[in-house]
Structure 1
Amino acid sequence: MDRLREMEVFVAIIERGSFSAASEKFGLSRAAVSRAVNSLEARLGAQLLARTTRSVRPTDAGMAYVEACRKLLDGITDAESHIAADPANPVGTLTISAPVQLGQRFIAPLVNAYTLRYPDVSVNAVYLDRPTRLLEEGVDIAIRIGHLEDSSTFAVGLGSVRRQTFASPAYLAEHGEPMHPRDLAAHHCVSFTGVSQPHEWMFYENNSKIPVRLQPRLIVNLAPAAVSAAQDGVGITQLLSYQAAAEVSSGNLVPILRAYEPESTPVNLLHVERRGTSGKIRSFVEFVTETLRNNAHLQCPSGVTTEGECIESQGNRESARDSGTHAQYLAPLNHSSDDSAEIRSSR
């Protein structure tokens, strides 16, 4: 087996979690997969995988080597894409991550349409409520909710979301509507742990935080469960604006305490600088950006002009222009978690 195929097999073992899954991907025997790993370890003089009868995981050396393998394999794929293929028809494997509910509602339909539009790109879409490490986990594009800091990650602004408080019309008719956050102490509440601390919700008044202590009637860890409970009149809940958008549109939930909401939080599409010129990256960014910026449930972020183009952050305009992808600014990843959990930890 040649060295590049050994690298591909090694990456597949880590990404798929087992020797058997890697053997299925390449149509190899499990023994051949094992020999590939043994060959790499012998050549490098280091153990790359820690193996037991039930699991396989990369060692520290394995984590460092798998990223080197991904860089090399990505480079080969991109080179072949630029030379052998029509630039309008990118090829390769594109790995995308997004928060679960945001992904289900807004990203998955675009991924499906992109896959149909570019049949030579194989897409690996991962929806999970934790921050993916782009370089370490081989993720090409990540959709993130949260404020960004300085790093070498490119961010394309897509919109913003707000943390809002909701109740059903039936609940408000029976219990009355709280006029101030502190009134919640006299109400039944449903805490969704992805957005707020279970026993303390945060509000803002005159740019000052107002922490409100609660004794929730119900605590859930899934946004749909909180939505369902609030619709059924169990109590008042706090969610991200898009998580209850359909229920607000249908009249099943009503936003309350609007004057005490925190500022909106940006939603960004992230990719790493070294892949900025990749055809598969560029095509996906261009394919989804306008649609997501026009999504009524993603409010316009503060750094977007009336024409909808992102404004580069100060001092990084040149880098953004040189990146080859329109409407970019150089900005870092906040290491708090994705989706609603990222909102919670950023406040």
Structure 2
Amino acid sequence: MDYLQSLRMFVKVAELGSFTNAADQMKVSSAVATRSVASLEERLDARLLQRTTRSVTLTEAGRLFLDRVRSIVEEIDDVEGGLLAATHIPAGTLRLAVQGSVGAGYLAKLLSTYSARYPHVVPQVIFADGPISLVEGRFDAALTSDTYPHPGSVVARTFARLDMALVASPRYVPNVRGITELADLERLVILSHEDGATSAEHDLARRWLDANVPHATHVRANSSDMVRRMAIEGMGVALLPAALIDDDLHERALLRVLPHVALPSMGLSIAYGSRRNLAPNVRALVDFLVEHSAYDSLKVPVSGQEEAALAAND
């Protein structure tokens, strides 16, 4: 039996904890999946998986072996996928799920360039307010934060980081008088994005807010654009990706609050089902996003006008 295929099957079974699910993803029968791993164990003269009627778990030897071979299999699949993509023109529909509205403004700019480069690809962008399942949603890929809890069978590649910014509308700025440190924010209304699909431990911005302004009045929405609009309407101080509000800062619809305080940055990841047999349009998107991930372009500097506008209201 093909050794590389046995390695792939072992990794997939270990990630999913199921021969049946691994066989489905690899498009083979459960019997073939079982024989594939059995042949690998025979070759190594070691039991890699402990099977029961209810579960499949790694033995100690299996854990050690998985740690070494997973990256090797991924590298081989990555090379194979790149060669296949190079010989096929990206075309067809590309269904892309987006976690909440994370990185929406940044993504829109990139997709414009991507579509110009690959005119035969038709992107379909679906904003998901709940959990994202590539299989159930029939998505080719998903754009999420780098802390999103994807299942082990999903490949997630971080391609950019977005600086965060504390901002408020000029009409809310009078409420910011005397704000010189984070503790002073406790008496204000804090607006922030909260994705119901993830818990607080996977939400970097929420963890930061809960740690630094736990007693403030928090107003949350599962859409970053909704948080942005509430901030523009003067409802409070918002914590948002700077790239999303670049134009608002330039037009002074929003001004920075505590501009020199260190804030968290949010990683953006592109997630897809497998490195192997990756469709050319998905491969092209992954490579494109990595190619265009210029971190410096995602940072919006504080302008002297912003600081002067804030100071004028102190």
TM-score (norm 2): 0.53
Report the 3-state secondary structure (helix = DSSP H, G, I; strand = E; otherwise coil) of the residue aligned with 1:65.
helix
C-alpha displacement of 1:178: 3.3
C-alpha displacement of 1:218: 2.1
1:82-108 deviations in whole A, cap 9, x for unaligned?
A: 6xx7967699xxxxxx99865655459
Greater shift in the superposed pair: 20-29 or 191-200:
191-200
2:55 pairs with 1:44: no
> 2:177 corresponds to which residue?
178
Equivalent of 2:159, from 123, 143, 149? 143
> 1:198 corresponds to which residue?
209
Q: Structure 2 matches for 1:14-163, cutoff 5 A? A: 14-16=14-16, 18-51=18-51, 55-66=55-66, 67-68=68-69, 70-72=71-73, 74-75=75-76, 78=79, 102=102, 106=106, 110=111, 127-130=144-147, 141-145=157-161, 161-163=162-164
Provide closer, same or farther for how the CA distance between residues 11 and 228 of structure 1 changes in structure 2, counting only shifts above 3 A: farther
1:134-161 deviations in whole A, cap 9, x for unaligned?
A: xx9995843253xxxxxxxxxxxxxxx4
Contact 2:104 / 2:244 at 8 angstroms: preserved in 1? no
Provide closer, same or farther for how the CA distance between residues 290 and 69 of structure 1 changes in structure 2, counting only shifts above 3 A: closer
Report the 3-state secondary structure (helix = DSSP H, G, I; strand = E; otherwise coil) of the residue aligned with 1:127.
strand
Contact 1:99 / 1:128 at 8 angstroms: preserved in 2? yes
Report the 3-state secondary structure (helix = DSSP H, G, I; strand = E; otherwise coil) of the residue aligned with 1:237.
strand
Contact 2:167 / 2:239 at 8 angstroms: preserved in 1? yes
> 1:216 corresponds to which residue?
216
Letter in 2 for 1:127: T
Q: Give the Cα–Cα distance (whole angstroms) in 2 for the partners of residues 126 and 191 of structure 1.
A: 19
C-alpha displacement of 1:68: 1.6
Contact 1:223 / 1:239 at 8 angstroms: preserved in 2? no
Q: Give the Cα–Cα distance (whole angstroms) in 2 for the partners of residues 130 and 286 of structure 1.
A: 21
Report the 3-state secondary structure (helix = DSSP H, G, I; strand = E; otherwise coil) of the residue aligned with 1:176.
helix
Q: Give the Cα–Cα distance (whole angstroms) in 2 for the partners of residues 186 and 237 of structure 1.
A: 14
> 2:165 corresponds to which residue?
164
Letter in 1 for 2:189: H
C-alpha displacement of 1:30: 1.5
Q: Structure 2 matches for 1:217-232, cutoff 5 A? A: 217-218=217-218, 224=224, 227=228, 230=231
Contact 1:167 / 1:254 at 8 angstroms: preserved in 2? yes
1:197-222 deviations in whole A, cap 9, x for unaligned?
A: 33554xxxxxxxxxxx5522127596
Q: Give the Cα–Cα distance (whole angstroms) in 2 for the partners of residues 49 and 219 of structure 1.
A: 48
Q: Structure 2 matches for 1:214-253, cutoff 5 A? A: 215-218=215-218, 224=224, 227=228, 230=231, 235-244=236-245
1:108-143 deviations in whole A, cap 9, x for unaligned?
A: 96598588879xxxx7657344299xxx99958432
C-alpha displacement of 1:15: 4.5
Greater shift in the superposed pair: 18-27 or 225-234:
225-234
Provide closer, same or farther for how the CA distance between residues 247 and 5 of structure 1 changes in structure 2, counting only shifts above 3 A: same
Provide closer, same or farther for how the CA distance between residues 200 and 50 of structure 1 changes in structure 2, counting only shifts above 3 A: same
C-alpha displacement of 1:167: 3.0
Contact 1:198 / 1:219 at 8 angstroms: preserved in 2? no
Contact 2:166 / 2:256 at 8 angstroms: preserved in 1? yes
Q: Give the Cα–Cα distance (whole angstroms) in 1 for the partners of residues 104 and 37 of structure 2.
A: 36
C-alpha displacement of 1:10: 1.9
Letter in 2 for 1:255: L
C-alpha displacement of 1:6: 1.7
Q: Give the Cα–Cα distance (whole angstroms) in 1 for the partners of residues 164 and 80 of structure 2.
A: 43
Provide closer, same or farther for how the CA distance between residues 199 and 259 of structure 1 changes in structure 2, counting only shifts above 3 A: same
Q: Give the Cα–Cα distance (whole angstroms) in 1 for the partners of residues 156 and 62 of structure 2.
A: 20
How many percent of aligned residue pairs carry the same amino acid?
22
1:218-269 deviations in whole A, cap 9, x for unaligned?
A: 2759673755765676532323313555776898x72332543438969799
Q: Give the Cα–Cα distance (whole angstroms) in 1 for the partners of residues 86 and 286 of structure 2.
A: 15
Structure 1 gaps of 5+ residues are: 92-97, 146-160, 202-212, 270-279, 302-347
Letter in 2 for 1:299: K
Structure 2 gaps of 5+ residues are: 91-97, 122-139, 194-202, 270-279, 302-314
Q: Give the Cα–Cα distance (whole angstroms) in 1 for the partners of residues 89 and 82 of structure 2.
A: 6
